[in-house]
Amino acid sequence: MKSCHVAIAPCAIATILLGANVAAAEPSTHRADYRVAYIGLSVARATFTTVFDGDRFTVAGEMQSAGVANIVGRTTGSTTVSGVKANDRMQAERYVVAYSSGNDEQRMEVDFDNGSVTSAILTPEKKRTREDWVPVPESDMRAVLDPIAGVMIPEGSDVCDRTLPIFDGETRYDIHLNEAGTQPFQAEGYDGTPFAAEAIVCTARAEPKSGYHARNSSIQYMREMNVEVWFAHNEQAGIYAPVYARVPTKLGPVTITATHFGS
């Protein structure tokens, strides 16, 4: 096992809950575009493109800061995930995310074998010298999901009322989903017609397991906050994917909304 490290922030919970659409029996491509807003102001845009070939899938995502966030400094990021659709989950085999913000750059690469992490590399590597660091044990690396494809739920299984065991290359945490009703949702489609659905609403609570600083004030705040996530059904794909998330922060809410959704 190569090195595994953790650094988490409240907004990341919303980001990791937003995946992409998926496809049917024949190879096809779907896309979801998202707008990220902080206290109502646009701060980022993201696009996820997913290609399915039978049970195999690949996801490519891009994010960039927008609006008032660019006043502080431009941030860009990209992610790729490949794996297989297996029963009630989207099981990654490889997950890569890279981002840059000003002069700071970071890259995470994770390889999986049947749900178990075989390699996790963080570049540049972070030194953990504080005594309150909670290391990631081998037992936390088994039967885990990545934070992108892992939040797409195959139809025929519970969307909410489940726990997602997430490892993102740094952090190992559980996301506990509980059903909280339904809400109508609309977005632009990619075939020239609007996308409309009755979205399933879940509350989501993050439980850090390992790979964090125990005295970090954000950890306790994360344990206590409740995120709201909406999942919409992609009929062609046979998948429920997130279309909306609202994350409370100490200074105001972060919302992520699908502006385009479909094929």
Looking at the DSSP bridge assignments, the partners of residue 64 are: 45, 76
Task: Confirm whether 2 is domain-assigned.
Answer: no
Is 224 inside a domain boundary?
A: yes
The separation between CA 127 and the C-alpha centre of its own chain, rounded to angstroms, equals 25
Query: Could you please report the per-residue DSSP string of the chain?
Result: ---------HHHHHHHT-------SS-EEEEEEEEEEETTEEEEEEEEEEEEETTEEEEEEEEEE-TTHHHH--EEEEEEEEEEEETTEEEEEEEEEEEEETTEEEEEEEEEETTEEEEEEEESPPP--STTEE---GGGGSS-B-TTGGG-EETTS-SSSEEEEEE-SS-EEEEEEEEEEEEEEEEE-SSSSEEEEEEEEEEEEEEEEESEETT-HHHHHHHH--EEEEEEEETTTTEEEEEEEEE--TTS-EEEEEEEEE-
Q: What is the DSSP string of 176-193?
A: EEEEEEEEEEEEE-SSSS
> Chain-wide mean pLDDT for the chain?
87
Render pLDDT for 113-167 as a digit per residue (tens, 0 to 9). Answer: 999 999 999 999 888 888 999 999 999 999 999 999 999 998 888 999 999 999 9
Range of the domain at 130: 10-262
pTM value is: 0.85
Query: Taking 70 as the threshold, does the pLDDT of residue 18 lie above it?
Result: no
C-beta separation of 207 from 223 below 8 A: yes
* Measured distance CA(200)–CA(96) in Å, rounded: 29
Residue 4 lies in a domain: no
Report if residue 178 sits inside a domain: yes
Residue 5 domain-assigned (yes or no): no
Asked if the structure places residue 257 within a domain, the reply is: yes
Q: How many domains does the chain have?
A: 1
For residue 159, is it within any domain? yes
Residue 79 covered by a domain:
yes
The residue behind tokens 């990631």 is: 136
- Report pLDDT digits (tens) over 236-255: 777 899 999 999 988 889 99
| pLDDT tens digits along 29-78 | 778 999 999 988 999 999 999 888 888 999 999 999 887 565 556 889 99
Q: For the domain that residue 257 is a member of, what is the CATH number? A: 2.40.360
pLDDT of res. 22: 40
Which neighbouring-strand residues pair with 84? 56, 91
